[in-house]
Amino acid sequence: MGFTKMSEDSAPKDKRAETGAGGGLPADMNIPADAGLDAMMPPPDKPTEKKPLTLEPAEPKKPAAAASAPKAAEKSEAEAAPSPTLQQGLPPGGDVKNKRIGDRLVEQGLISPDQLKVALYEKQRSPKLLGEILVDLGFISSATLSAFLAESTGLQQFDPKKTMLDPAALDLITKKDALKYQMLPVTLDREKNKAVFAMADPYDVVAIDKLRQVLPRGCAITTLVCPPEVLADTIHKSYGVTTSIDGILKELAGDAASAKINLETLSEDEAYSHPIVRLVNALVFEAVKMGASDLHFEPEENFIRLRFRVDGDLITAHTLHKEYWSGIAQRLKIMSEMNIADKLMPQDGRFNLNVGGREADFRVSSLPTVHGENIVLRVLDKSASIVPLNQLGFSEHNRKLIEKCLSRPEGIIIVTGPTGSGKTTTLYSMLNEVNTPDVNIQTLEDPVEYSLGLIRQTHVREGAGLTFAEGIKALLRQDPDIIFIGEVRDKVTAEQALKAAMTGHQVFTSLHTNDSFGAIPRLVDMGMQPGMLAGAIIAAFAQRLVRKLCPSCKVAKPATPEECKLLLYDQHGEPLDSDNPPTIYHPGGCPECGNVGYKGRIACVEILYMDEDMDNLIASGAHKSELKKLARTKGFKSMVDDGILKVYEGVTSLDSVVKTLNFADRM
Ligand SMILES: [Zn+2]
């Protein structure tokens, strides 16, 4: 259905195609009403009979529409007329603007010159915008007009069905002003001083002036285009109701029936304004704004606990009344297209939304427990960007090894670690490093987490028969140099990956094992011959994320005797002298880190590089411990070594490292 389709299909396309501008229909029109965020957009661009002009035939019009953008830009320069982005200055407004929009609609054949004359005549007697008048007269459909505006300005379209509004932004202007100026605050980020607004007419100077008055100084505004009646409808719905979590909870407390209603039976309008629906929206919004990677909805015997995972740690965000659980669970299941009738079997689903101006994918899983269904949402932030390899905090030792690995043109580079250990970030950064125009990189992923330029990314659909194993076969026929396989889970995939490595490809992949040495036995378990593995693997990485100390408030202290025992060696690898303890850092607390003492995370990484000696040992079927012994003689540094180095560097605390890594043999 709708959500899934969007998230899968839109990834590789450019933004414009995604917004459905330029004569094509918005791709997301088929979102079912029960998806709840409401179908407020007008029906797909099917003009009624009385409307003489339509975008159809869409195909032949497209080139014209595309070509008009640069033309419009030239023209606007010549006339010193409006520029498409607010930052670049504002239009002088009035008639110039009307003429321009009107003329361009005529140029593109969307309305006739006569229709424009009629509309301009009407305009003299009406306070309405020219676009609105054209729509009122039935000369153009509002969806077509909005698509045209988005196309000609290069702005994205606002889609209320797939956007969560920021309650804090709504307070910026009153409902009355929102309706008067035809604009709706979508999000406000005070920290970055950025705001997103949906507007019916991005050229409306008066509205933009009003905006400048209410926004903080120097705030960067991003405008989204929206058909006027859709905007008005959204304004009515958004302002009519409480959107803050506390407010909604208060409302629910005074209205016991609301919590128990079957959400499926609600009409579209009711679903939009129902407090449970608003509550779920507000909770998801809050979590994403906090930078949470996972949301845990946990029913207990008498209450529901909601915990967010932020920077690797679970924090209890809310405790809610148990009475709301069936409603919340049902709502989450409707959004992620699960079977709401089935409460006894584990299920999984997904949906995608624009939260505060960011595109986010949510993967949802439910698991029945004795107190009801436990539901976990994993957030995949599509707007997250790839971190350059040299900014990931690798040690000098590891950086050199990575360079060596990447320079080997054939073989497998495996990154291991549990879920949430930052494997994907490391893999993408490496891929980004080898991504040059003279190589062909193809990926198989589930799901595609980041989109990379120049790289052909394929989304594995196990359910639809496109498995990793099948995918690699198809992918190898596409003449790739470098292949990224999201994860090796079974024998067939492992075999294919190995085959690819042995036929001259560089293969990147991930495995679930505890440490780098675990990669070999794991592959042998899957049915690979040790003799085949030897020589085919470039290196096995293992990593864990530890918390980074807030640089503004970290506290230096000499290590205690207990801490010295854990540290074992000094910064230069010499045994520690506990009479002369080294200085290490501890978390403090300041406004910058929200009094936590930590900010962000960094990976502790070990790299098991396979040279000829290692290969020979592997081929002989040697045990893990023998591999470890040999690696040590070759200067192997474990995750613990890397962690302690980061402790000495003051990047992290010993506490955080001990909590995350295995220190059992030092205790
Ligand atoms: Zn701090």
* pLDDT tens-digit readout, 576-587: 887 889 999 999
Q: What is the pLDDT at residue 617? A: 95
Average pLDDT over residues 286-290: 83
Percent of the chain predicted with pLDDT > 90: 33
- Residues around ion ligand 1, judged by CB within 5 A, are 550, 552-553, 590, 592-593
Reduce the DSSP state of residue 645 to 3 states and report it. Answer: helix
Domains in the chain (CATH in brackets) are 2-157 (no CATH), 241-381 (3.30.450.90), 389-666 (3.40.50.300)
Q: How confident is the model at residue 396 (pLDDT cuts 50, 70, 90)?
A: very high
Q: Is the pLDDT of residue 166 over 50?
A: yes
pTM check: above 0.85: no
Q: Is the pLDDT of residue 292 over 60?
A: yes
User: Any alpha helices (H) in 534-576, and if so which ranges?
Assistant: 561-567
Whose tokens are 């002298």? That residue is 577
Average pLDDT over residues 45-71: 36
Q: Is the pLDDT of residue 62 over 50?
A: no
Low-confidence winner among 27-36, 329-338, 500-509 (lowest mean pLDDT): 27-36
What is the Å distance from ligand 1's center to 380 Cα? 27
Residue 568's DSSP bridge partners are none
Average pLDDT over residues 357-384: 85
Q: Is the peptide bond before 92 cis (omega within 30 degrees of 0)?
A: no
* The token pair that represents 627 in the structure block: 């591999």
Q: Is the pLDDT of residue 509 over 90?
A: yes
Whose tokens are 């100077």? That residue is 205
DSSP tag of 172? T
What is the Å distance from ligand 1's center to 577 Cα? 31
CB atoms within 10 A of CB 558: 11
What is the Å distance from ligand 1's center to 599 Cα? 8
Average pLDDT over residues 565-583: 87
* d(C-alpha 102, C-alpha 124), whole Å: 14
Question: What confidence tens digit (pLDDT) does each residue in 96-106 have?
Answer: 455 577 888 88
Q: What is the pLDDT at residue 467? A: 83
Name the CA radius of gyration of the chain, rounded: 29
* Nearest in space to 265 (alpha carbons), one of 334, 344, 350, 337: 334
Regarding predicted confidence, which is higher, 411 or 82? Answer: 411
User: Which positions ≥6 away from 213 have C-beta within 8 Å?
Assistant: none
Mean pLDDT (the chain, rounded):
79
What is the Å distance from ligand 1's center to 288 Cα? 22
What is the Å distance from ligand 1's center to 384 Cα? 24
Q: Is the pLDDT of residue 526 over 80?
A: yes
What is the Å distance from ligand 1's center to 603 Cα? 20
* d(C-alpha 453, C-alpha 432), whole Å: 9
